[in-house]
Chains A and B, each alone.
Chain A
Amino acid sequence: MKHIDEYRDEKVISGMASTISRRKAAKPLKFMHVCGTHENAIARFGLRALLPEWIRIIAGPGCPVCICPTEDIDLASQIALEKKAAIVTFGDMMKVPATDGSLFDVKSSGGKIHVVYSPSDAVSMARENPYEEICFFGVGFETTAAPVAAAILSRPPDNFSMISSHRIIPPALELLLNRDDVAIDGFILPGHVTTVMGYSEYEDFPKKYGKGVAIAGFEPADVLLAILNLVEQVIEKDYKVFNCYRRSVTREGNRLAREAIQNVFEISDSRWRGIGIIKNSGLKLRTEFQKYDAVKKFQLRKEKESIDLNPGCLCHLIMIGKIEPPECPMFGKRCTPEFPYGPCMVSSEGTCRLHHGL
């Protein structure tokens, strides 16, 4: 297939892997990616096995389902059960454990929960069912926030509302760069978040933190090229933002998508599950779209504190790249894809789920 096969070429892949192996940095290197789709590609194509042992690729807080705070899932459950509104969301959200169970459990208890592929499907449901309240539970980073913004700009009817649990990537990376206990030698930036937002926001990183940054697509050659480039940056001590995904990413990003996000949302301090509140890392609806804000519309009272992590769950350490899934005592025992105990075991973008096997 065009624009895919070229990046899965066996000769290119083995050539890159052997080039990386021949390079030698002065110390072992640890690179972090921040995208569930990168972890998926790395697992699916077995890329870790192609790398020399002195390079480790770890997953950061790049799975939107994993970092969605329990309080937002609890809110969705409450809306479904107490207000009898239909919650409409992405399939990956169904099994995520929350304080009193997952959305799947809510559905079993009679709550209306529907899975969609696109936020526009939720808007269509509201148009087609004018006597039913439809509440879209929106999670995801900039890449998902843009389609959600476009759906809101299509002026959904009054029986539509949403929970905005959208997050943006740069503040999370800065948080990790400012922590002493997470030693990272470079970042692999998420290709499609950067397709939307461009990479100008990251241009301070190399100088400010002395770390390399490479933007990667999702085919094996893309990921290996980013790793190769980061190794070169470390060896040359010449840190920069390098765009390895030129067929999709420009410095400015997608103007229409950025404008849609800006018109619909404003930046807010937001909680990341297992990590806590990160300043200026979330997107909430602007004043002119408040009529779609489910929290305001349903005037819910919080009855108890939400619990982000079950006792013994180490997803918070996995999400910041401090430990890897097999180091968690729950991994593969009490926590499995069939019965996830922590959020990272649920989604096909979750680090634990991908380490466990696709």
Chain B
Amino acid sequence: MCLGIPMKVVKIEENLGIVETGGVKRRIFLDLIDDVKEGDYVIVHAGYAIHRIDEKEAQENLDLIRQYLSATELS
């Protein structure tokens, strides 16, 4: 049920979107998220996007990994 991977939104028509990852395309519903546009990455579950990945949050996540690693390596 849960793919758990982010997919890129390549097309939007009202509450429907086409998402793509690794060449696989799928039609999904966008009823459960706001402000999505073509080019965004979303997390899909059971045919519905449940989260739009915000660039700032994504960067924060990577920074967390780097900071955490360097901090614990020093201790």
Contacts and interface: CB of A to CB of B under 8 A. Distances in A.
Interface of A: 1-4, 6-7, 12, 15-16, 19, 23, 36-37, 41, 64, 90, 92, 117-121, 140, 143-144, 146-148, 150, 153-154, 191-192, 195-196, 217-218, 221, 225, 228-229, 232, 244-248, 254, 256-257, 260, 349
B72 A19 contact: yes
Given A245-B61, A254-B50, A19 B45 contact: no
B72 A232 contact: yes
Contacts of A121: 47
Given A3-B6, A148-B46, 17 more contacts: A1-B5, A12-B65, A15-B69, A19-B69, A19-B73, A37-B2, A90-B46, A92-B1, A118-B29, A144-B1, A147-B48, A191-B4, A195-B43, A195-B51, A246-B57, A256-B32, A349-B1
Contacts of A143: 1-2, 45-46, 50
Contact of A23 (B34, B65, B72): B72
B3 to A, nearest CB: 9
B33 interface: yes
Contacts of B62: 6
A147 B65 contact: no
A193 B26 CA distance: 22
**Chain A contact residues, majority secondary structure:** helix
Contacts of A195: 43, 50-51
Contacts of A90: 1, 46
- Of B21, B31, B60, the most chain A CB neighbours within 10 A belong to B31
Nearest to A150: B31
B1 A146 contact: no
30 contacts: A1-B5, A2-B6, A3-B6, A4-B5, A4-B6, A15-B69, A16-B69, A23-B72, A36-B2, A37-B4, A90-B1, A117-B46, A120-B48, A143-B1, A147-B47, A150-B31, A195-B43, A218-B4, A218-B5, A221-B65, A225-B68, A247-B53, A247-B58, A254-B32, A254-B33, A256-B32, A257-B50, A260-B32, A349-B1, A349-B2
Contacts of A196: 50
B1 A64 contact: yes
A357 to B, nearest CB: 20
Interface of B: 1-2, 4-6, 8, 21-22, 29, 31-34, 41, 43, 45-48, 50-51, 53-54, 57-58, 60-62, 64-65, 68-69, 72-73
Contacts of A117: 46-47
Contacts of B47: 117-121, 147
Contacts of B73: 15, 19
A7 B62 CA distance: 8
B50 A229 contact: no
A176 B61 CA distance: 30
B29 to A, nearest CB: 6
A192 B4 contact: yes
B48 A229 contact: no
A53 B35 CA distance: 46
Given A191-B4, A228-B68, A256 B48 contact: no
B40 to A, nearest CB: 11
Contacts of A147: 29, 32, 45-48, 50
A244 B62 CA distance: 10
A183 to B, nearest CB: 25
A150 B69 contact: no
Contacts of B2: 36-37, 143, 192, 349
B14 to A, nearest CB: 12
A119 B69 contact: no
Contact of B32 (A1, A23, A118, A146): A146
A217 B61 CA distance: 10
A148 B54 CA distance: 25
A229 B68 contact: yes
Contacts of B8: 2
